[in-house]
Amino acid sequence: MKESAQAALSYIRSRGHHFKLPEDIFSEIDIHLHVPAGAIPKDGPSAGITLASALTSALTNIPVRHNVAMTGEVTLRGRVLPVGGLKEKILAARREKLSRVILPKRNQKDFEDIPKHLLRGMQFIFAETVDDVLHAALSSIKFKPSSRAQGASNLP
């Protein structure tokens, strides 16, 4: 989890000018992330794009959409890497009545293994970069996602 948070923060720092963050913001503030384990196991790498979205939201004061679930590992260069346990994660989003799910584009092939009735009524956005994720997750963002982004998909 620590590496995911550090990768997310490094990426946001490198893109601060796109978010209109003050140049000295990271020398003016301290960021401390605490993710208590409690009774819920957490898979660190899968939380990368979620941590990047939360940090960007906190630093820009742009809220994350209320109906979004997301999972994906993030690299220092902002690429979104595939994750495991897709079926369980989609089930969790459905259980919480979240209608928009952001997933790594490289996980799109894994949809063949998921029963179609679990996918109905949900919007899936397949992201290649953190910019793609932020564009889909934040309620208003002032930059364009990468040109490689695949738009939203409403699966049957």
The catalytic residues are: 46, 89
* Token pair recorded at residue 61: 């004061």
Pick from 67, 61, 81: which is nearest to 127 by CA?
A: 81
d(C-alpha 41, C-alpha 2), whole Å: 15
d(C-alpha 156, C-alpha 21), whole Å: 40
d(C-alpha 39, C-alpha 47), whole Å: 17
